[in-house]
Chain A
Amino acid sequence: MPKTVNRKSRLGALPWIFPALFMIFGFVLWPAFEMIRTSFQEVSTSGITQGWAGLENYRTLLVNPDLPNVLIRTFIWVVGIVFFTILISLPVAQLLNAKYPGRKLVRWAVIIPWAASVVMSSTIWKWILDPYYGVLNKMAMDLKIFTEPVDFLANPKHSFAWLMLVAVFVSIPFTSFVILAGLSTIPDDIVEASTVDGATAWKGYRHIKFPLIKPALLVAMAINLINIFNAFPIIWVITGGGPGYETDTTTTLGYKISFRDQDIGQSASMASINLIIILAFIGIFLKVSKSQERNS
């Protein structure tokens, strides 16, 4: 909460916050409005508005036979990746927080996927997974795990799992650093006190540390939810959503409809539905985390 100087009129604030408001309205809210408006318009393949289309775009989209599978896959994508990211980031954060020689180097190594562009991280994974020249096949064959090269991305179910693995890989660094930030606010004496009291390491973690890092964890989850739902480059670079639409999420499907099929109106309706889905995800998330807080 702010330390009140005095309650000022709205106008007094304007010179300070107007530029920020201008940017938010001009380049975040306007495109959102523009997109929703476009979803009710008929737009030619060259991008010229032909007039209102009513719900036609939504109708075309909803009868798309691939949509149900894409929706289910999007759900698996978001929930699965957030779950595994958090699950792995908790012990990773412990390791980043512990004291041992070379900790700084380990922290720097974990930072790399966070700092590097997701497009470039996705490209190297595509190369690692390459059926002929990829290092993963080479290693698996040298270790006699299999005798013939395997195309990891041939089966859409497998390739979708690999895509999720890459997404978890690029999400862990940010998440574990947010948890680490939460851990570093815990005073050492609290942890020491619990050890003196004879609490086992697990119990100490479960009952003392975990509740204290929960706020940081919730923030990390919310941000991951948004990022992963919108994750585009991983799928785009590694499988392109293919074969067909078999590894698409709603985000890549929307992009394909607009910039490959040139149907801007229909794609805008996909994106508008996306917006509703992400708001619903966040709404449910906030509700669950609030009720959790009340219970504890």
Chain B
Amino acid sequence: MTTQIVPKLHKRFTGKKVSLTISAWVLGFLFFAPYLQMLLTALKPQEEITAIPPTYFPKEWAFDNFINVWKEIPLGTFIKSSFIISMSATLIVMFIAIPAAYYVARNDFRGRKPFLFLVLVTQMFAPTALVIGIFREIVKLQLVNTYLGLILVYAAFNMAFSIWILTSFFSSIPKEIEEAAWIDGCSRFSTLTRIVLPLSLPGLATAFIFTFIAAWNEFVIALTLTSSPEQEPLTVGLTALIGFYQVQWQYLFAGSLIAIVPVVILFASIEKWLVGGLTAGSVK
């Protein structure tokens, strides 16, 4: 009986597989296409961008757009600002979220429920919704046009997600492993650094990269709190290329790609863990 069924199943399987593969590739292309258009535009010389009718591919490939953009706008300064702000915010989040999540995962204490509720509430408050309040506060603290202002805001708003995801990761590590380490004379702190953290690497990587990318891509708060090219991150700095009368699309997109490619690579590098990380975050 098996011999009868197997070939039949096999045949149906391949026909289905071809259409499945094609639809998946088409899907992938649809999501990739706008960014391909971005690249093609970034490689056109100015005259060709405003040519009518427009071209699909550059007639003349202007690879030097990617060099000239650094002179056209202070791209290096923007990247530096974006990097310092995002990296500092991410490190603050990790230093604060790891101990909090570890304690909450391992201990039942009287304020545990209110604390977790508070974390959930922060998750619901998007910085955009509170932009006026944030602006007023940062003016009062005299942190307008500083890295520190943006760093503190980004750290505060992205902490909830990290605490949430790390709590579920830490909870999933069997306590017996830790207890064995205590018996061997490990302190609470060294159990955390030597045993728990290495075992939670996927969770840590997910939390780290999520926070970094959220800070790297943030726009509204940066638009509101910075006004000088010295402190502006990339997202805001690049919009300077959108003039009232003229947009230098080729530089805008060359700059955008320089910002996008590293984070896409970062993101793709945790793709394997992303699914597991999201499961831990959503199911628990």
Contacts and interface: CB of A to CB of B under 8 A. Distances in A.
A141 B52 CA distance: 13
B52 A181 contact: no
Contacts of A267: 132
A101 interface: yes
Interface string B84-117: 0000000010011101101111111111100100
A57 to B, nearest CB: 11
Interface in A106-161: 106-121, 123-125, 127-128, 132-135, 137-138, 141
Contacts of B107: 2, 4-5, 8, 12-13
A270 B67 CA distance: 44
B53 interface: yes
Nearest to B98: A16
At the interface, is chain B mostly helix, strand, loop or mixed?
helix
A208 interface: no
Nearest to A271: B132
A182 interface: yes
A19 B20 CA distance: 50
B283 interface: yes
Contacts of A230: 126, 128-129
A9 interface: yes
B267 interface: yes
B186 interface: no
Contacts of B155: 23, 27
Nearest to B217: A117
B32 A109 contact: yes
Interface stretch (A64-72, A77-85, A251-259): A251-259
Interface in B205-251: 213, 216-217, 219-220, 224, 234-235, 238-239, 242, 249
Given A20-B163, A32-B133, A116-B217, A251 B128 contact: yes
Interface stretch (B73-81, B195-203, B268-276): B268-276
A32 B38 CA distance: 38
A271 B131 contact: yes
B139 A47 contact: yes
Nearest to B18: A100
A13 B263 CA distance: 36
Interface in A157-212: 169, 172-173, 177-178, 180-182, 184-185
B100 A264 contact: no
A268 B133 contact: yes
A27 B49 contact: no
A17 B235 CA distance: 32
B171 interface: yes
B274 A109 contact: no
B125 A28 contact: yes
Contacts of A36: 133
B274 A135 contact: no
B149 to A, nearest CB: 10
Contacts of B37: 124, 127-128, 135
A23 B263 CA distance: 26
Interface string B109-148: 1111001001100111110111111111101000000000
Nearest to A251: B128
B235 A13 contact: no
Contacts of A115: 213, 260, 263-264, 266-268
Nearest to B279: A181
A30 B279 contact: no
Contact of A216 (B125, B131, B163, B282): B282
Given A100-B20, A124-B34, A278 B129 contact: yes
Contacts of A255: 131, 220
B263 A95 contact: no
A110 B25 CA distance: 10
B130 A116 contact: no
B156 A28 contact: yes
9 contacts: A30-B133, A103-B24, A111-B267, A111-B271, A116-B35, A169-B31, A230-B128, A251-B129, A258-B131
Interface of B: 17, 20-21, 23-25, 27-29, 31-32, 34-35, 37-38, 41, 49-54, 56, 92, 95-97, 99-100, 102-112, 115, 118-119, 122-126, 128-137, 139, 152-153, 155-157, 159-160, 163, 171, 175, 213, 216-217, 219-220, 224, 234-235, 238-239, 242, 249, 252-253, 256, 259-260, 263-264, 266-268, 271, 274-279, 281-283
Given A17-B104, A102-B21, A115-B268, 8 more contacts: A19-B95, A115-B267, A119-B238, A123-B252, A124-B35, A127-B37, A181-B278, A282-B124
